[in-house]
Structures are given as structure tokens and as C-alpha cells.
Amino acid sequence: MNSNVIPAQALTPQFTLATEHTFIANASANLLAQERCCDAFTLLSETDNQHMFIAEYFGCNRKRIIESLIEAHGVFKEHVLQLDEHNSPVWQQAHPTKTLLAAKLHKFHYLSGTIRKADLVGRYNVETNEYKPGLLASCHYLFICADSLWKRETLWDLLLEILDKQRYQVHSRFIELPLNCKIVLIGSSHQYGSCWLGEPSFSRHFPLLGELVNEVDLAEHSISNYCDWLAGILTEQQLQLENDALSLLLRFCSKLADHQMRLSLMATNIEHLLAQAKAYGRSSLITLNALTHSIAKLNQRHNASERLSEQNFDDLFINLPTQDEVVGQINGLTVVENAEFSYGEPARITASVHYGDGEVADIERKSELGGNIHAKGMMILSACLYRIFGKDAPLHLNANIVFEQSYQEIDGDSASLAEYCCLISAIAEKPINQSLAATGAIDQFGNVQAIGGVNEKIEGFFKLCKRRGLTGNQGVIIPCSNMQQLNLHQDVIDAVTEGLFSIYQVKHIDEAVEILMQLPAGTADEDNQFPDESLYGLVQSRLESLAGYQEEEASLFARLLDKFKFSS
């Protein structure tokens, strides 16, 4: 068996679950892997005049995070705001007197949407001399949505002013009140960075950053810990999971994290999926069939652009062969990303070579359809080619490489492996097996490096091959370093198991060209010469002929003289 072939069991994450697992929902489980945020929140409770910023991630359930932080790490002192003997308002841990102004009635409150000044500082009625405390006075912890606050610039300035003075004015006819509340802003890491640099006083008042992570590393936390985190979602939605459905849900969460050893904490995505599975199955007990159907329908609702792309291939509007052999042509793999959905789309890459001054031209770049990262990948490809074949003399060829039938911008360096193999094929005039597709980035030393969207790319080429009929010769070449991201659809796994489709992993460009062209790449000797019958030997021979270095073939008369000459 080819050592580059990836076995079927490595194509999806493998989770070991207890036969019977009891879900335990609690605040600590809801804060799984959020050690940084918990540490910052603990410091918030134990320090004076230091407030906190929670940097969340997409798919975070704010409500559950806030409630869990309060339950697990909140500190609540029975403070009351009253007038002292000098008629000055002070916060004290004492029994209220007749001069009571406010008391800590709420553990926390969360403000979002339309925020008013009165929500923060309260109201004062001049006619009745009645003061109604705001949230700064009645809450131990006040959580505020950063976006909502920044939409009201005057309130943002007011909050910073309050934090500067540690006091605030409810009304011009009412005394200033001392601040005794912990402020927690919730927003993005980008917002925190912008405020840190743009607001001089922000760094003084919000030194505590609690950055939430969006995934669990199974090297640090167990599957049981993660199941307890899932219990918070199940308990809130009053759902139960069958064991088989739990295994599928774990694979779904692993796919969200894009890693076999990590599981996603994007709670809202999981909540939506389970709610849809409940609706499809018409039961609060989520079965494997209901969850499988829910995942399939989730993809179907978002794959309209993918179906249009597939039709273009099926109607042969896009020319991309998946059989036979062609010189200077290879199937590359791309990912099309929408806001909420991404899918793989094969792309035909071609290369042509001719005598020239050594330029490897990127037609995408010249036509302004190639991004900067793609241009960088092409430069690395050229450097790699020169490292192997241009050590002793300049290369006397020009090459043109292009994504055929591509009419939008292409960026990224994940096609550089395929482009390199295509260029080698064109120079050596050795055909490439069109049943295979390749993806991977390369460095100047020929090492194949990881790329993004590996699952989408594999599945995109597999779907095309399946629609045309699986032959057993089709497959995909990926970087070895992407194996830990593999989380493929069951159809792909079944096809690999049955020997109808293959996935190869490579660490170096030499392995890729050998798989694609079924010829040893060859190893250079001390004079940097490759064996004549090797692939690189053919490349070297072609390059030498373009440069005019090869010895001219002797004439018939010269060969006869050489044959019959006598030694003296």
C-alpha cells in the first residue's frame, strides 16, 4: 500500500464516549476553557477602580456566559448608600438608616440596545425631592454591550467621566453620588484594541481583559467536560440526546472548530441546530436520524451558489477533465466563501513554457485577478524552481501559469503545489493524471505546508467525481500537516473504505510529482545532475536544451570515422 494514502479511519475525528454519560449542567461547565476570562473576573471583584472588558467571539451566548460568571465568581457585599454625619453620601456595610439613598438590590444587570442616561445614573424629581437609583447604584455588576454604548457617544463620554471622577451627578440640584459598581463591557477584541489606542483614559479604567475562546482543546479538557458544557444547552432547551446522536453532534462541533482535537464553543450555532432537529423529529429526544436530517437540511438551505457551480461543471460550461493524462495541466482546488457558507470548487490550472529569460509569469496577477498572497506564492514557486535547477546557471525559459475559466479574483497560496507540479509537467513534457487533484502551499525548500478549507476542497472534487462516476483512480493530494483538520462527509469515507476514492498526504513536492506523474523525482548527485530517466532528469535535460548546453549530435560521417578509427 502507498504510504502516502490516508486510511479511512483518519478522515474523521474519533471520540471515545462512556457507555452511559450523565449530563451535569452547572456554571463551571458553562465556562469551559474560559480560564482567562474567569481570572480577569475574579480580579475585578478583588481590586478597586479596575473594570473589565470581555472580548467575545462569533456564536457566543452572552446571557449564559454572564450568568455563569456571576454564579461561579461573583462577590456580593451588602452595601447601602446613605448620608453620613456630614450629610455626605457614602457606601457602607451597615444597616440602612432613615437617610438611605440606595441599596444593592441586584447582583447584575445587562444593558444593550437603546441605553439612556437614566438607566445608568437614575432620576431625581425636583418637585418631590425623590431620587430613583439607577443601575450604577442598584447593581453589584453592570454588563454593557459595547456596540450599544458607542452608538450613544454622549453616554460613552459620560461613563468615562464617571470612572475618572469616581462620582456622578444625577441632577444639578442633587448631591454627587460615589461610584460603587463594577463595569463590564462586552464587545470584540478589535473594539478593545481600538479603544486602548484611541481613548487615553480607557486603559486606566479597563485594564482587565477577559478574552473568550471559541473552542476546546481536547489535550487540555476531556470529552466528559465538553459533554457537561453541552448539558447547559440541552437543559436550557429542555432536550435530550441519544448516544448515537451525541457522537454525530461531537463531529459537527469538531467541524465547526476545523480540527480533530478541538471542539467548538459556538453555542448559538449548536442551539439552532438542536432546535431544528427537535422540530424535524417532533420530539425533545434528539435521535441520530433527526440530527442527520437537520445537518443535511442546514447545508441545503445555504448551498444555492454551490449547486449553480455544480451545474456549470455538469453542463460542461467549465472544462475540467477527471480522467486521462494531459501535459502541463492539473486540477487545483479552491474554496468559495460566502458570509455563512463555504464550499470547494475544482479549478483547471495550465502551464506553458518556451525559451526566454527565466520568468515564471502569473497570468492572474498580470490580468489583475490575482491577490497579493497568490503573487507571493508564485514568487516562492519560482524560487523553489531556481533552487533545484538554477544553482549553476540561469534558466533559459519563460513560463505562463493560469487558472483557466476563472473570472474573479484568486488569492491565497494554497495552489502553489499544484502550480509547481503543472510547471514541472510542462517542462518535462510528462503528462499528469487528471483523475487526481492537488492542494497545498510550498516554501522555497519544497516543503508542502498547510492550507485552509481542506475538507471543503476534498468534498468539492469528490462530488464532481461521484456525479461523473467513481472509478477507483480518482483522489486528492493534500499537505500532511492538514490531516488533523480532516472531518469529511460520510459519503467520502465510504468511498475511501471501498477503494473508490483516495486521499494522499505529502510532506514534500517530490512526493506530489511522483504520485501525479508516476515517475521517480530523482536525487541529484554531487555535480547537481539528476538521473536521466528520472522526472527531474527530464526537466534538467529540457532546460539544458533550451539553454543550448546539450552537445550537438554527431553527423553520420563523424560516427563512421569514430567507429573505424585505428589506434597508432
What are the residue numbers of the active site? 414, 457
| Interacting residues of 455 by C-beta distance below 8 A, sequence separation 6+ | 255, 258, 485, 486, 487, 488
Per DSSP, 402 falls in state E
* CA–CA dist 542, 554 (Å, integer): 19
Helix (H, G, I), strand (E, B) or coil at 114: coil
Residue 309 has phi, psi (to 5 degrees) of: -65, -45
* CA–CA dist 467, 102 (Å, integer): 71
Amino acid present at 100: L
* CA–CA dist 396, 404 (Å, integer): 25
- CA 212 to chain CA mean position, Å: 16
Amino acid present at 120: L
Per DSSP, 521 falls in state -
Site of grid cell 494514502: 5
Site of grid cell 503545489: 417
* CA–CA dist 213, 39 (Å, integer): 14
Instruction: Indicate the pairing of strand 262-264 with strand 325-326.
Output: unpaired
Q: Hey, CA dihedral for 468, 472, 475, 481, is it positive or negative?
A: positive
Residue 71: CB atoms within 10 A of its CB come to 14
**Beta-bridge mates of residue 142:** 109, 183
Grid cell for residue 524 = 541529484
Question: What is the number of residues in the chain?
Answer: 568
Site of grid cell 471559541: 214
Contact 293, 280 (CB under 8 A): yes
* CA–CA dist 288, 245 (Å, integer): 4
DSSP notation for 178-189: E---EEEEEE-H
Grid cell for residue 467 = 456525479
* CA–CA dist 73, 386 (Å, integer): 60
Continuous segment of H or E residues that includes residue 292: helix 288-302
